[in-house]
Amino acid sequence: MADPEQARATQLRNIEQKTGASARDWAEGARLAGVGRHGEIRAWAKAHYGLGYGDANALASAVLEASAPESRRSEDPLDQIYSGTKAHLRPIHDRLITEARGFGEFEIAPKKGYISLRRKKQFAMIGPKNAKQIELGLNLKGDFGNDRIIAQKPGGMCQFAVALSDVAEIDGAVVEALRSAYEAAG
């Protein structure tokens, strides 16, 4: 499976082919359109290039990243997700990834504030819930809910979620639920 940087580079190359424009053209077009915030650039890219949400979102991130001061750029998207008051949550994230890697291969797709874990389909999401907790979202059918793994409202991105504030909270029940979601994703 591709690492996150390879996947992002491939997506940006595909967007260049779809739009017939380069990253430099996107940045100049956004500047001329008077849009500078992420959501504004995304909406502009959807309207101007006819892109879907995901590609427009990636384009907006690329435009903003290219214009960011060198001191704010990072090669690792997790450095941005787990920065400032959320930096202490990174070990919890890393432990969840280590547990998931024990199940087999999967793709890690970084998003703006979390990462998506995918096989044939997404099986989990990991990211800060707030400055004190990580939320592990799980795509599971059936009844895995308990006092810690909470069923979510229908229509959300995940059917279950568990909030974790310490590595020690990643117990057998959490690992088993993660494994079940992994296996169900194909």
Does the CA dihedral 49-52-57-59 come out positive or negative?
Answer: negative
Give which of 23, 32, 34 is closest to 60, Cα–Cα: 23
Q: Which CATH class is domain 78-184?
A: alpha beta
pLDDT tens-place string over residues 4-45: 778 888 999 999 999 999 888 898 899 898 988 888 999 999
Reduce the DSSP state of residue 7 to 3 states and report it: helix
* Among 135, 160, 156, residue whose Cα is nearest residue 145: 160
Looking up tokens 């096989």 gives: 119
Q: What is the pLDDT of residues 90-133, one digit of tens each?
A: 999 999 999 999 999 999 988 888 999 999 999 999 999 999 99
pTM, 2 dp: 0.60
